[in-house]
Amino acid sequence: MKIYPIFIPHAGCPHRCLFCAQDRSTSQSVVPEVDEVDGWLENVLPLHGDGEIAFYGGTFSLLSLQQQDQYLSAAGRFVASGRVAGIRISTRPDALGDECIARLKASGVTTVEIGCQSFNNTVLASAGRGHTASDNISAIQRCLSTGFQVGVQTMPALPGSDTEEALVSLRQALKLKPSFVRIYPTLVIEGTELAALWKSGGYQPWTLDEAVDVCADMLFLCRQADIRVIRLGLQRDSELEKNLWAGPYHPAFGQLVRSRLWRRALFHASSHGKQLAVHPNDLSDVLGHCGENRDWLKKIKPEVRVIADKVVKRGFLRTSGRELPLTDLSAPGGHHG
């Protein structure tokens, strides 16, 4: 689905979380006026389309009712004309009361993304989130029951978190059967309380390799549950790269994670045959960023070849005449570096 993002950085946010500095992590730092939004959509939307207009970066449901109505009315005009299929908003779990949910539904919102970050109350408190794990659960359940598509945003490696907490929190989210998940490993950005904590030695971010490994476990669990992961790591942005102090950032983080899953699969499958086949659209992730999986495989199994074959289903690997799903070959615990 095509997304047409409108950024409203910090707008409506009642808290400044420990990790947050949207004015330093995205090049768009000014909340747009409604007429700007209307003009931009007029220019970028197709005559007919099935995408969504998305309001990101703030707590949409805590904007003034007047501002919410203005934004939703502007977006709704394009939904009504068939130029886009729906509206997506991003908000906090404790900003989704019954009256709010009903109003969003009546205004044409189709997808709600909820910044849960963790399902551990200690971690949430350490991050200054101002809500609890129970708020996460209640918000997800009520939005799903109202008929929204519901996205859950998670942040492994917050202060007080570790690998176990990240996986336990994700499992709690998956039990609720959200429509999709985003996974954003915690980064240390200039101007945040987290940056001061890191500088004083009070916080140790994950290394890139550690984050890739844990996020590969998280991706595995999502695929096992048949729930889409639509984003791994923050999107590349020059402002973010300029203000990043520490943490597991990489412009191709998503591919690194997907490739780590495939590396585990290659490790297991290579003992069963000398030729491994995957769908052509999977080949780039299978070979790895800059060919790192290809080079790794040459070292441990130089006799094994990976080929592309459009007959093989996406997400499957064929070896010795059998097609096996990635989830059968790349379970957590198979960390082969």
Question: Does the pLDDT at position 8 exceed 50?
Answer: yes
Same domain, 197 and 267: no
**Domain ranges, residue 320:** 262-329
Say what the pLDDT of residue 302 is: 93
Same domain, 196 and 274: no
Q: How does strand 316-319 pair with strand 322-325?
A: antiparallel
Last residue in a domain, options 222, 251, 280? 251
Same domain, 225 and 76: yes
Span 145-163, pLDDT tens digits: 999 999 999 999 999 999 9
The residues, any chain, with a CB within 8 Å of residue 210's CB and separated by 6 or more, are 248
Same domain, 201 and 101: yes
Same domain, 237 and 285: no
What's the mean pLDDT in 227-247?
93
Global pTM reads: 0.92
Residue 95 lies in a domain: yes
The residues, any chain, with a CB within 8 Å of residue 235's CB and separated by 6 or more, are none
Say what the pLDDT of residue 261 is: 96
Residue 313 lies in a domain: yes
Last residue in a domain, options 232, 251, 270? 251
For 125: left if phi > 0, alpha if psi spans -120 to 50, otherwise beta; the answer is: alpha
Same domain, 26 and 136: yes
Distance CA 221, CA 244 (A): 29
The residues, any chain, with a CB within 8 Å of residue 196's CB and separated by 6 or more, are none
Say what the pLDDT of residue 21 is: 73
The residues with which 329 forms a beta bridge, in sequence order, are none
Same domain, 282 and 176: no
User: Beta-carbon neighbour count of residue 202 at 10 Å?
Assistant: 10
Say what the pLDDT of residue 318 is: 95
Q: Which of 36-40, 60-64, 322-326, 331-335 has the lowest mean pLDDT?
A: 331-335
Strands (DSSP E) contained in the chain are: 3-7, 52-56, 86-91, 109-117, 149-154, 180-183, 188-189, 228-232, 244-246, 275-278, 305-308, 316-319, 322-325
Count structural domains, the chain: 2
Residue 334 lies in a domain: no
Residue 335 lies in a domain: no
Instruction: Indicate which CATH number applies to the domain containing 144.
Output: 3.20.20.70
Say what the pLDDT of residue 170 is: 98
Residue 238: pLDDT band with limits 50, 70, 90: confident
Same domain, 244 and 285: no
* Strand (E) or helix (H) holding 104: helix 98-106
Q: Which of 6-15, 42-51, 75-84, 105-114 has the lowest mean pLDDT?
A: 6-15
Same domain, 111 and 224: yes
Based on the number of CB atoms within 10 Å of its own CB, is 94 exposed (0-12), middle (13-18) or buried (19 or more)? buried
Question: Does the pLDDT at position 293 exceed 60?
Answer: yes
Same domain, 144 and 52: yes
Same domain, 113 and 18: yes
Distance CA 139, CA 134 (A): 8
Residue 256 lies in a domain: no
Over the chain, what is the mean pLDDT?
A: 93
Residue 257 lies in a domain: no
Same domain, 65 and 27: yes
Residue 212 lies in a domain: yes
Span 122-141, pLDDT tens digits: 999 999 999 999 999 999 99
277 with 313: CB under 8 angstroms? no
Last residue in a domain, options 251, 279, 301? 251
Which residue shows structure tokens 């102090």?
245
